[in-house]
Amino acid sequence: MADDFTAKHGEATRAIHGGQEPDPYIGAVSTPIYQTASFAFDSVEQAVARAAHLEEGYSYSRVGNPTTDALEHKLALLEEAEACVVFGSGMGAISALFLGLCRTGEHVVCADSIYGATHGLLTGPLAKWGLSATFVDAREPGNVARAIRPDTRLVYLESPSNPTLRLVDFEAVAQVAHDRGVLVAADNTFATSVNQLPLRVGVDLVLYSATKYISGHGDTLGGAVLGGAELIRRVRQAEILHGATLSPMNAFLLLRGAQTLPLRVRAHNAHALAVARWLEGHPAVGQVIYPGLERHPQHALARHQMRGFGGVVSFDMGSEARAEQYIDALRLCTIAASLGDVKTLVLQPARMSHRFMPPQARADAGITPGLVRLAVGLEDVEDIIADLEQALARVE
Ligand SMILES: Cc1ncc(COP(=O)(O)O)c(C=O)c1O
């Protein structure tokens, strides 16, 4: 996919032009929403040829659609990936990854610091289907190496992780996994392609909740998996059969959002760093977690592996009650279960995004009851900090 003329351009140009030629029929500059379930054939013979991939063209929107294709093309160019497949949500993407690449009786090694529903998918439905998982602290590549077994198929990572912003050394983990013939997949939702390109350093597959920074405006769900053509062919096959399809309308919204991804993510990076530094200096705030802070224990790795440190800052208010009181006192920041929006969003992970994780798994991931996750938005940063400050004054 990444072989057309836009592949040679900078990331802003790829974000704007990638996958989006003017419409060939009437010249529409904005990619049309091909809001159709099916595509008419000239003959039965043509229908059969399309189903057998003997003729190019569309047949049915669960299998392919021009608007979703444009998005796949754009995301592949941004991630420098050979191929991309998009989904109706991030969890749709993650489910299709496991369904497409693993089978009953196999095993995955998974970072213990990950999004709560990913943990729930592995320990719930996928465990029931006979895929077993070992969760390890993947900050130490040796822990991944020790957990790999002869039946291990995949190592699954998230870096920076949700919500404790732990990092994984992609290059080191890819090396230990590849030495044993095991694939590596990484959820790049928090960093995005603007801040890091895991495929460049040996990761085989990258995943997204496109609901977050790729959309950027909090108006649609979406997901994506990117990587080599053959792996993506297998993940796409799983999608076609289990049906977590992205609608053309939502593909259009994601295409619009993705055009400003580089601009927005660089602004999120700057705002989050300013907020993290301000929080760090405040005596009423406990530990502040942000990979861009010099005191983050993996700051050296962050500098080596990332070009920017993302838009999420987490910090500890000391207890569950204080965290709740603090979040409730915020006025500009919105209490909501997402991140990556232009609006600053805030939540209490232990009671919201990660509430279904068993308490020990939450503790292993470093999620304390008093933790607050702040997804810093694009409002004037002085206004965000003023809101954080007024709320602190109201916490006992
Ligand atoms: C890191 C990460 N991955 C995956 C997901 C799941 O994505 P979605 O909510 O779009 O299904 C989320 C959702 O918050 C997430 O934070």
DSSP 30-67: SPP----SB---SSHHHHHHHHTTSS-S--BTTT--HH
Span 182-196, mean pLDDT?
Answer: 98
- Say yes or no: 231 and 278 in one domain: no
Q: Is 316 known to be catalytic?
A: no
- Say yes or no: 42 and 136 in one domain: yes
- Say yes or no: 169 and 270 in one domain: no
Q: Is 62 known to be catalytic?
A: yes
- Mutation choice for ligand 1 from 98, 211, 213, CB with most ligand atoms inside 8 A: 211
Cβ atoms of 83 and 1 closer than 8 Å: yes
Q: Of all protein residues, whose CA lies closest to atom 14 belonging to ligand 1?
A: 338
- Say yes or no: 269 and 349 in one domain: yes
Whether ligand 1 lies within 6 angstroms of the CB of 162 is answered as yes
Tell me which of 62, 266, 277, 351 is the catalytic residue: 62
Average pLDDT, the chain: 96
pLDDT tens profile 56-66:
999 999 999 99
Q: Is 128 known to be catalytic?
A: no
Number of compact structural domains in the chain: 2
pLDDT tens profile 70-85:
999 999 999 999 999 9
Question: Residue 25's pLDDT band (boundaries 50, 70, 90)?
Answer: confident
pLDDT tens profile 296-332:
999 999 999 999 999 999 999 999 999 999 999 999 9
- Say yes or no: 144 and 272 in one domain: no
- Mutation choice for ligand 1 from 94, 115, 165, CB with most ligand atoms inside 8 A: 115
Statement: residue 209 has pLDDT above 60: yes
Statement: residue 1 has pLDDT above 50: no
Statement: residue 279 has pLDDT above 50: yes
- Say yes or no: 250 and 339 in one domain: no
- Say yes or no: 98 and 179 in one domain: yes
What is the reported pLDDT for 118?
A: 97
Q: Of all protein residues, whose CA lies closest to atom 15 belonging to ligand 1?
A: 115
- Say yes or no: 78 and 103 in one domain: yes
Tokens 């990854």 -> residue: 97
Domain that holds residue 102: 5-258
Distance of alpha carbon 366 from alpha carbon 357, whole angstroms? 12
- Say yes or no: 171 and 236 in one domain: yes
pLDDT tens profile 328-371:
999 999 999 999 999 999 999 999 999 999 999 999 999 999 99
Span 121-133, mean pLDDT?
Answer: 98
Statement: residue 194 has pLDDT above 80: yes
Question: Residue 23's pLDDT band (boundaries 50, 70, 90)?
Answer: confident
Question: Which range, of 22-26, 203-207, 214-218, averages the lowest pLDDT?
Answer: 22-26
pLDDT tens profile 213-264:
999 999 999 999 999 999 999 999 999 999 999 999 999 999 999 999 999 9
Q: Give the burial class of 229: count Cβ atoms within 10 A of its Cβ; 0-12 exposed, 13-18 middle, 19 or more buried.
A: exposed
Tell me which of 69, 112, 169, 187 is the catalytic residue: 187
- Say yes or no: 190 and 296 in one domain: no
- CATH number for the domain spanning 167: value is 3.40.640.10
- Say yes or no: 166 and 287 in one domain: no
Cβ atoms of 375 and 346 closer than 8 Å: yes
Angle 151-156-157 (CA atoms, 0-180°, nearest 5)?
Answer: 150
Q: Is 139 known to be catalytic?
A: no
Name the helix (H) or strand (E) containing 345.
strand 345-347
> For the chain, how many residues are written?
396
User: How remote is the CA of residue 92 from the centroid of ligand 1, in Å?
Assistant: 10
Distance of alpha carbon 297 from alpha carbon 299, whole angstroms? 6
Q: Of all protein residues, whose CA lies closest to atom 12 belonging to ligand 1?
A: 209
Whether ligand 1 lies within 6 angstroms of the CB of 221 is answered as yes
What percent of the chain stands above pLDDT 90? 96
Domain boundary (229, 258, 287) is at: 258
At 162 the three-state DSSP class reads coil
Domain boundary (210, 240, 258) is at: 258
Q: Of all protein residues, whose CA lies closest to atom 9 belonging to ligand 1?
A: 90
User: How remote is the CA of residue 91 from the centroid of ligand 1, in Å?
Assistant: 6
Q: Which region, left, alpha or beta, applies to residue 366 given φ > 0 means left and ψ of -120 to 50 means alpha?
A: left
What is the reported pLDDT for 2?
A: 45
What is the reported pLDDT for 6?
A: 82
Q: Phi/psi at 56 (nearest 5 deg)?
A: -70, 150
Tokens 């009650």 -> residue: 321
Report the nearest atom of ligand 1 relative to the CA of 189: 1
Strand-strand pairing, 132-136 and 107-111: parallel
- Say yes or no: 20 and 157 in one domain: yes
Domain boundary (258, 284, 309) is at: 258
pTM, two decimal places? 0.97
Distance of alpha carbon 238 from alpha carbon 98, whole angstroms? 9
- CATH number for the domain spanning 294: value is 3.90.1150.10
The total of other beta-carbon atoms located within 10 Å of residue 183's CB is 22
